[in-house]
Amino acid sequence: MTDRAWFDAAKGDIPQWAASMPKDADGTTIDWDWVRSLDLAHGVGTIPESTPQSIHDALKADYATRERLESIIAQCNSAFMTDFDRLIGSYRLPRALAYANRRLNDNINTMLHLGEQQHLWAVSRERRGRATIAVLKPYSGSGPSNDDQGMLDLSGEAGGASAGNTAAENSDVKFPTTVALDDIQDRTAAILDARAQRRKAQRFQKRAGDAAMARANLSGATSPGGAALPGGAASSGNATGHHPKPDWRDAYLPGRDVDAVMGIDIETTGIDPARDYIIDVGFEFMNMASPRPAGEPETYAYEQGYYAAGDAYGQSRLAFGVPPENAALGNALIAKLTGIDVRGRSSEAGYRLFDEWPQAQAGLLARLTQQPYVAHNATFEHSWFMLNVAGYAESYRAGRIAIIDTLPMSRQWDPGAVPTNEHPYGDNTLDAYAKRQGALDSAHNERHLGLEDSHIMLVAMKHHLASLKAQGKGPWGPAGRAGVGGKSCRSR
């Protein structure tokens, strides 16, 4: 189990956060006394009695708590990274809130299944805007829902229900549907959409203000209408003949002098670092320019027998678990994608949870700060490390972490990433990029395991950089830059 003392230390940071972040991501004033009252270490969810109204009321309360927590967590990154006076010394409070929110989310999913077992509702997982949410519908007694979770066995034995039956059919406890559903619907999608609309309006307002300033500035290099005059900033050059627009991800492109890097990939139980768990981490090292270090083992056995270690060294594969409540629910989607069945990854089965393992976090952080780390769609890994790895946010803000992303390499510099109707920005998945760069045979697909995906990513990156250098393109082209490149924080 984790050392619970850090939760008290996290709450001790509340005055710093309160001074710098009075409102959450939805513009609501934060009740920091409420945050201080939460038992982050032992759970903020509600355990109901087994009556229909108790389950309804507990689910409603947990949804409300999750909304409040997540709106605070969503604002923490911006507040921390723009705290230029360094009033906030640590990121452990957002990590503690995310820790509690993951267990709260497990509690919500447990009650959703309990309601199904008691015939209070049927759960349908549906994509709504920016999120996949649980939609509650009246129980009809017809067939299983399209929920991608496993079946919850109230006896506590994971996997005890037959895959051919609904959770309700496997339960001995049945009640008629007597609870209202309108006030216990998941509002996540609506909240995220509203939040995105506010950000869009703010960006529009800023652009309009900038344009007005440019028109008023007679010495600026702009036309009377505010458009850039010829000779202004160069567009993003690439090696393809097509010219994608500059993108914020371009900050993660490597420079001409990049060499020793660590590739990393994580597998998780979902896509939200404030709700889901890291279950697999794989990383390895590779030099992009200099020879492979002498003395390193020359072979490594990947799960895919046709992978050859080549120039890679220092490979590592780490497996982590989930709480018993999460394991009992199962996760068919992740099992199908990665081959990892969380029903066998319970902490009760001896698996350590990453967010409860300070030594594992410290070891990973030490590696992340030794050299640039590379990931495909690196903002995903970055967001998970922010809310899971003690010291990561502080190290990143201090400029001790540099991140390189192979996704913009594919998008900007890969001739095969031509936009199509199916892929308006080009097919830039790791699978497609690795195949185009000769790192993955066309007869095989991306494995969706941390180490194997890290390996094909680094091999593809090395092949790609060698080709670009030979052509004088990419980092060696007009828009390339010297140095290691990548994204890192710099002093304001």
Q: Which of 166-180, 287-301, 308-322, 407-421 has the lowest mean pLDDT?
A: 166-180
The model's pTM is 0.86
Residues 6+ apart with CB under 8 A from 229: 221, 222, 223
pLDDT band per the 50, 70, 90 thresholds, residue 305:
confident
Nearest C-alpha neighbor of 325 from the set 298, 305, 343: 343
Q: Which of 71-85, 195-209, 231-245, 414-428 has the lowest mean pLDDT?
A: 231-245
* Average pLDDT of the chain, as a whole number: 87
More confident position, 174 or 280:
280
More confident position, 438 or 210:
438
Tens of pLDDT, residue by residue over 202-258, are 888 888 888 887 778 755 554 444 444 443 433 444 444 556 777 889 999 999 999
Residue 477 has pLDDT above 90, yes or no: yes
Residue 325 has pLDDT above 60, yes or no: yes
